Amino acid sequence: MKSDITYPLNIGPVHPAFKEPIKFTFRIEGEKVVGADIDFGYTHRAIERIAQERNFIQIIYLLERVCGICSFSHPMAYCLAIEDVAGIEVPPRARYIRTIVGELERLHSHLLWTGVAAHEIGFDTLFMYTWNIREKVLDCLEELTGNRINYAMLTIGGVRRDITPDNAQTIHQMLEYYEELYNRTSEILLDDLTLRARTEGVGVLTTEQAERLCAVGPTARGSGLMKDVRVDYPVNAYYEIPWLKPISPRDIGKEPIGDVYDRMAVRVLEIQQAIKIIQFCMENLPQGDINTGSGAVKMINTLKKLEGEGIGRYEAPRGEVCHYVILDNQEHPVQIKVKAPTYSNGFAWAPMLTNIEIADIPIVIASIDPCVACADRMTYVQTDGSSTTISWEELHAKSIQKYKGARKRCMK
Amino acid sequence: MLGMVYKVVEQLFAKKSTNYFPSKYILEDTATTLNKGAIHPPIAVKEGFRGRLEYNVETCTGCGLCSKVCPANAIELYPALINDKKTKRIVIYLSRCTYCQECVTICPKNSIQITSHFCMADYNKYNASLVVGFEHRQKFEIKEEGSTDVQKEGD
């Protein structure tokens, strides 16, 4: 018997199925989800505001903590934005080292995601398998940069640590390890019947929807959009790699329909691509300086005299990350705007979460690799201490007013 | 039943079979203890590991560059009296430190060095073991009238 009554189902803000606080309100008919409403704003940390009280060098380490996994991508986009304003030329060796660390981060992020996805569908053996092999790349990152997660590797105009011959040997050993394991891993992830049964045809985001909702990263590529910042707007060493192209499920001979399986296939293929890019960079690593040679204080004093605005775009493991800065003769940027990948991909949840079953909710939500803290925006606290949220029109008017003010200061 | 009561009483007076973690409780001959327990000994850290900071108060000139670049504001400058000269010295709060090594890179006299020591847990974050330069501060600081002790105030 078909039920014609729709029930609301609240999940969140704090729920064991999600890794971060976010609230979903589903409308369900029996076991079927017919609509979803998403409520952000439970973990806003005011990073952009804090950044206005720190100097240019301190901000790098603040932005590493925007996201625990993309801890290279956020400062990378910030450094690109500052270098854009100041016109700083990055030495070739530094560009290659940046590319290597960025791809190592992508490798570890995608292995982490496959583990999380396996855990969400209840396949905990695979979760432990992928997180076990992920330790190798974390060890490699630790030897290369000194830290496992927040690498503290970047500075404006270069990198802070060089790759020594010992490090190079570790990287080669790690690459051999993953090359041996890649076939086995991709076989488990792409051909296993249990995984296929749970992921194929679930959480579909069509190409048109992905294009209209401005999806980025593996979410967009899984839906068949050929967009990748590394190819479209190359930075670092990416434009010197001749064979680099956006990954799509067509590479394994499957026409993309935009389900969870396609997004997983894109990530698995990107693991292979990251290994190849690191190999290319290690073979073609040029000699020379690793930064511009000016210390932190000299760099702050140079940037203090500048005015203007700059933008930095970088392909994080989850998609495009974009930082916008305005400089105005001060020790800190007067304005910094962070656009994290989940901010774009969050809208894609709405079509994905319709016409699925309740049991598929965790894997569909996890399929865009969400980072809720990165995307949190809407928290408005009045000066008398009482907290309130504001409507979209008010927010729009306020943001126009604020950016006009910042621009006026900048253009003066 | 009576046997159980006997066991409980025995447990109450038994010696603890584990060590407290903070390093001051570790037995002096840690390696021997670990071998005795047949536990895997800790492996050596890699070169370039970011561990506890070391501060040389003799070579420091009190320029304050390190506190300017520290992203976590973990470095505090205090007025000091050294060799009858009024100058400044630093303390580093390791509980706030992010181990980014900016201060090590910027120091013109190499007064701050990074070591491979990582066993730093303690119950109180303002203990001498977690504040680098604590003993020098007690020795050299010029105490002003009415000033409060920052280390006692907490965050």
pLDDT 10s digits, A363-386: 999 998 888 888 887 555 566 666
CB atoms within 10 A of CB B72: 16
Q: For A13-29, how does the pLDDT look when each residue is reduced to its tens digit (9 = 90+)?
A: 888 888 888 889 999 98
Chain A contact set for B47 (CB, 8 A): 143, 166
Range A261-285 burial, b when 16+ CB lie within 10 A, else e: bbbbbbbbbbbbbbbebbbbbeeeb
Chain B contact set for A166 (CB, 8 A): 47
What is the enclosing helix (H) or strand (E) of B33?
helix B30-36
Could you tell me which of A23, A5, A7, A3 has the C-alpha nearest to residue A15?
A: A23
Tell me the residues of A at the B interface, defined by beta carbons under 8 Å apart.
54-55, 57-62, 142-143, 146-147, 150, 152, 160-161, 166, 295-297
How far is residue A393 from each of residues A212, A350, A382, A389, B12, measured CA to CA in Å? 22, 22, 17, 12, 67
What is the distance between the alpha carbons of residues A23 and A40, in angstroms, rounded to a whole number?
7
Helices (H), A233-323: 260-283, 296-304
The shortest CB-CB distance from B98 to any of A55, A61, A160 is to: A61
- Decide: A55 and A252 in contact? Cβ < 8 Å: no
- Given CB atoms, is B100 within the 8 Å cutoff of chain A? yes
Beta bridge partners of A325: A310, A336
Looking at chain B, the whole-number percentage of residues with pLDDT higher than 70 is 75
Chain A contact set for B65 (CB, 8 A): 297
CB atoms within 10 A of CB A403: 14
Beta bridge partners of B88: B79
What is the distance between the alpha carbons of residues B155 and B150, in angstroms, rounded to a whole number?
9
Could you tell me which of B44, B63, B47, B45 has the C-alpha nearest to residue B112?
A: B63
**How are the residues of chain B apportioned to helix, strand and coil, as percentages rounded to the nearest 5?**
30, 15, 55
Chain B contact set for A161 (CB, 8 A): 48
Residue A77 is given by DSSP the state: H
Give A2-8 contacts, CB < 8 A, sequence gap 24+.
A3/A29, A3/A30, A4/A29, A5/A29, A6/A34
pTM value? 0.86
User: Which of A142, A144, A154, A159 to mutate to probe the B interface, most B CBs <10 Å?
Assistant: A142
CB atoms within 10 A of CB A63: 26
What is the distance between the alpha carbons of residues A328 and A304, in angstroms, rounded to a whole number?
8
Tokens of B15: 């010696």
- Decide: B56 and B111 in contact? Cβ < 8 Å: yes
- Decide: A16 and A352 in contact? Cβ < 8 Å: no
Tally: H helices and E strands in chain B: 6, 5
What is the distance between the alpha carbons of residues A288 and B44, in angstroms, rounded to a whole number?
31
**DSSP labels for A35-66?**
EEEEE--SS---HHHHHTTS-HHHHHHHHTTS
Contact A295 B106 (CB under 8 A): yes
Chain B contact set for A146 (CB, 8 A): 48-50, 99, 101
Residue A229 identity (one-letter amino acid): V
In a structure prediction context, what are the per-residue pLDDT tens digits for chain A, which is 412 residues long? 555 788 999 987 888 888 888 889 999 988 899 989 888 878 888 888 889 888 899 999 999 988 888 899 999 999 999 999 999 999 999 999 999 999 999 999 999 999 999 999 989 999 999 999 999 999 999 999 888 888 888 999 899 999 999 999 999 999 999 999 999 988 988 998 989 999 998 989 999 999 999 999 999 999 999 999 999 999 888 989 999 999 998 988 889 998 999 999 999 999 999 999 999 999 999 999 998 888 888 889 999 999 999 999 999 999 999 999 999 888 888 889 999 999 888 889 989 998 899 999 999 999 988 888 888 875 555 666 665 666 778 878 888 888 887 777 766 6
Could you tell me which of A345, A319, A314 has the C-alpha nearest to residue A266?
A: A319
The shortest CB-CB distance from B48 to any of A60, A146, A150 is to: A146
Q: For A170-179, how does the pLDDT look when each residue is reduced to its tens digit (9 = 90+)?
A: 999 999 999 9
- In angstroms, the first-to-last Cα distance of chain A is 69
